[in-house]
Amino acid sequence: MRLPRRGLVACTVALALLGCRDDGEADDTTTTTASTPGPSDTIAPDDPDLTPLLLTADDLPDGFAPNEDVDDTITAFCAGQDAAAGLSASGRAIAGFTRTPPGASVIEVVFRFDGDGAEQFVAQAEELLTSCSGVPDATGLAFTYEPLSAPVAATLDGADASASRFGTSVGSGNLTVEIAVIQHDDLGALIAVLGLEEPRADLDALAQTAFSAAVAMLAQSLRSD
C-alpha cells in the first residue's frame, strides 16, 4: 500500500488534537483531522494487529482519555513535505489522547513498512524537521524546531533509529510540540506531545512518559513475534 506523497494538511501535526481556528491559533475545545489526502494518495489500511503497539491512556498520566476523532496522516511537517513520501506500508494504526484539564494532548501513528521503509521514514523525518523549521504548512502556520532536552532525548535510546525535535509555533509561542519518530525493524512510529500554554518542564515530563512507553512497546513487539 502506497503512502501519501503530498502533505495536504488541514492543520499541522501540532494541531491535530488541539484543533485550529480560522485565524490559525490553537483552540483546545475543538478537534480536526490531520490531513486530507489528494486523489492519487492512498492511506495505508488500518491494521488491528498493530493496535496493541499503540499507547493507551494507562501509559499516560491521570486525566488523559482517548480521542476517537483523530484520523488520516500526521507525518507532514510543512507544505508539501511528508516524511512518509514514496514509502510503502502494509498497515497502520493511530491513536490520540486529550487531557482534562485541557492544554496537552498526545497522538501516535504506527506503520508496518515494506522493505527498508521504516529506516527511510526516520531519515526523511530527520531531513524535514531540519528543512521545515520556520517554514509554513498549507495553512500558513510554521514551527521552529530545536533539539529535545537531554532527558527526553534519552528515552529514545532503545530505538533502532530516531529523529526528534521540540517545536514552538512562530508568532504564538504558547503552542509547542515534542516530536519523536522511531524505528524498530520494519515498524515506524511517530509520537507527538502537544502543549498549549503548557510549561516546558511539564511538557518534557509528559514527553518522557509517552516516548519511553512507545519505544518499549515497539521493542516488545519484536520479542513476541
pLDDT tens readout for residues 94-144: 999 999 999 999 999 999 999 999 999 999 999 999 999 999 887 788 999
Question: If you average pLDDT over residues 74-89, what whole number do you get?
Answer: 89
205: cell is 515530563
With beta carbons less than 8 A apart as the criterion, state whether 10 and 45 touch.
no
Q: Is the pLDDT of residue 1 over 90?
A: no
Using alpha carbons, list the distances in angstroms from residue 201 to 59, 116, 157, 166, 174: 19, 36, 20, 12, 14
pLDDT tens readout for residues 12-42: 344 444 443 334 444 443 322 233 233 234 4
40: cell is 492519487
186: Cβ–Cβ under 8 A, 6 or more apart, which residues?
Answer: 112, 113, 114, 117, 118
Q: How far apart are the first and last CA of the chain?
A: 22
What is the percent of the chain with per-residue pLDDT over 70, rounded to a whole number? Answer: 77
Q: Is the pLDDT of residue 6 over 90?
A: no
Would you kindly state where each structural domain of the chain is located, as residue ranges? 13-224
Question: Which CATH number applies to 13-224?
Answer: 3.40.1000
How many alpha carbons lie under 13 Å from residue 103 in its C-beta half-sphere? 11
CA torsion angle 80 85 89 92 (round to 10): -30
With beta carbons less than 8 A apart as the criterion, state whether 27 and 18 touch.
yes
Per-residue model confidence (pLDDT) at position 43: 58
89: Cβ–Cβ under 8 A, 6 or more apart, which residues?
Answer: 1, 3, 44, 111, 112, 113, 114, 117
Per-residue model confidence (pLDDT) at position 69: 78
Q: Is the pLDDT of residue 190 over 90?
A: yes
- How high is the mean pLDDT of the chain? 82
Strands annotated E in the chain: 64-66, 76-78, 81-82, 89-99, 104-113, 143-146, 161-169, 175-184, 187-196
Residue with more model confidence, 45 or 155: 155
With beta carbons less than 8 A apart as the criterion, state whether 156 and 117 touch.
no
Per-residue model confidence (pLDDT) at position 165: 98
Per-residue model confidence (pLDDT) at position 11: 38
150: Cβ–Cβ under 8 A, 6 or more apart, which residues?
Answer: none
